């Protein structure tokens, strides 16, 4: 498989504290890649550096063959990197459909200044809402949605950007079991054109979703492998899992 994202010796220091320490990571085209590790391991820091909302102290990030280490976040977004946040970042006073339209606006091939173009963009946004199970809610205000639905709307906004790389920061956090089932179904149905890098503490979600898992520990990748390999790795057990268990992939 071709590499889509290559992170080389990436470091982020805050004063004397090193949150990410010469980290290397490769994400393949179409990957289903999970990033796990204890609280404070540097997972969100790494997503922030890849998305461009934070800048590295040193190191390099290459995406689709281009060096994006110093690229502004909106350029990365246009280049095909989308993300969701630990706390869903939807516009609460806008409708569900308008939130997705905002996500699609700069990424769609149709011309938004033409009526036919606007109709095509809106149709595609409705199709994305159907994908994430929000059909019928398009005229509701986003702020009225339940936490689980707001998470799915956040995901819909990210998908509206037509990403090649989707960064998901703890998408299962705060979800009910039923919402987790919906989330996993949506992730399973994503096109192989989209690579996913998922940060998640819920190891059942990781086991059900990921083909590749990287364990981050003290800002450094400890090991990368299949969920089964990660489960069997003594260093991982020692550093992170303890008595917890990454379930066998179904």
Cα distances (Å, whole numbers) of residue 226 to 2, 106, 173, 231: 18, 36, 23, 9
Which residue's entry shows tokens 């998640």? 200
Q: Should residue 242 be labelled a site residue for ligand ATP when binding is judged by CB under 6 A?
A: no
Relative to beta strand 17-28, strand 3-14 is antiparallel
**Rounded Cα–Cα distance for residues 80 and 129 (Å):** 20
Q: Please give the structure tokens belonging to residue 29.
A: 């085209």
Shortest distance (Å) from residue 89 CB to ligand ATP: 16
Candidates 21, 23, 32, 42; binder of ligand ATP (CB under 6 A) is: 42
Selected range binding ligand ATP among 35-43, 70-78, 136-144, 187-195, rule: CB under 6 A = 35-43
Candidates 44, 71, 77, 231; binder of ligand ATP (CB under 6 A) is: 44
Selected range binding ligand ATP among 41-49, 97-105, 110-118, 230-238, rule: CB under 6 A = 41-49
Q: Should residue 239 be labelled a site residue for ligand ATP when binding is judged by CB under 6 A?
A: no
Nearer to ligand ATP, 63 or 85 (CB): 85
Spatial neighbors of 125 by CB under 8 A, at least 6 apart, are 97, 100, 101, 104, 156, 160
Alpha helices in 64-218 (DSSP H): 73-79, 96-104, 115-131, 147-160, 177-188, 203-209
Query: What kind and span of H or E run contains 232?
Result: helix 227-232
Nearer to ligand ATP, 14 or 70 (CB): 14
Per rule CB under 6 A, count of chain residues that contact ligand ATP: 11
Nearer to ligand ATP, 9 or 193 (CB): 9
Q: Should residue 37 be labelled a site residue for ligand ATP when binding is judged by CB under 6 A?
A: yes
Spatial neighbors of 250 by CB under 8 A, at least 6 apart, are 207, 208
Candidates 4, 5, 23, 45; binder of ligand ATP (CB under 6 A) is: 45
**Rounded Cα–Cα distance for residues 144 and 34 (Å):** 31
Q: Should residue 14 be labelled a site residue for ligand ATP when binding is judged by CB under 6 A?
A: yes
Nearer to ligand ATP, 12 or 149 (CB): 12
User: Contact 138/126 with Cβ under 8 angstroms?
Assistant: yes
Q: Should residue 43 be labelled a site residue for ligand ATP when binding is judged by CB under 6 A?
A: yes
Candidates 4, 5, 7, 19; binder of ligand ATP (CB under 6 A) is: 19
Candidates 2, 16, 39, 109; binder of ligand ATP (CB under 6 A) is: 39
Positions that interact with ligand ATP (CB under 6 A): 14, 17, 19, 37, 39-45
């Amino acid at each position: 498989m071709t590499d889509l994202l290559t992170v080389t010796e990436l470091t982020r220091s805050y004063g004397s504290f090193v949150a990410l320490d010469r980290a290397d990571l490769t994400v393949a085209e179409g990957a289903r890649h999970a990033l796990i590790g204890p609280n404070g391991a540097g997972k969100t820091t790494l997503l922030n550096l890849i998305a461009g909302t934070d800048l590295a102290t040193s190191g390099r990030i290459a995406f689709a063959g281009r060096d994006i280490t110093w690229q502004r976040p909106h350029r990365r977004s246009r280049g095909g990197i989308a993300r969701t946040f630990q706390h869903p970042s939807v516009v609460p006073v806008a409708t569900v459909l308008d939130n997705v339209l905002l996500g699609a606006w700069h990424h769609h091939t149709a011309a938004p200044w033409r009526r036919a173009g606007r109709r095509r963009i809106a149709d595609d946004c409705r199709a994305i809402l159907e994908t994430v199970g929000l059909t019928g809610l398009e005229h509701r205000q986003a702020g009225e949605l339940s936490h689980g639905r707001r998470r799915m709307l956040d995901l819909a906004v990210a998908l509206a950007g037509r990403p090649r790389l989707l960064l998901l920061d703890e998408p299962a956090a705060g979800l009910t079991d039923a919402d987790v089932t919906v989330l996993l179904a949506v992730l399973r149905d994503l096109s192989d054109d989209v690579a996913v890098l998922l940060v998640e503490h819920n190891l059942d979600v990781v086991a059900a979703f990921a083909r590749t898992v990287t364990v981050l520990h003290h800002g450094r990748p400890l090991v990368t492998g299949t969920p089964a390999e990660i489960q069997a790795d003594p260093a991982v057990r020692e550093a992170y899992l303890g008595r917890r268990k990454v379930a066998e992939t179904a």
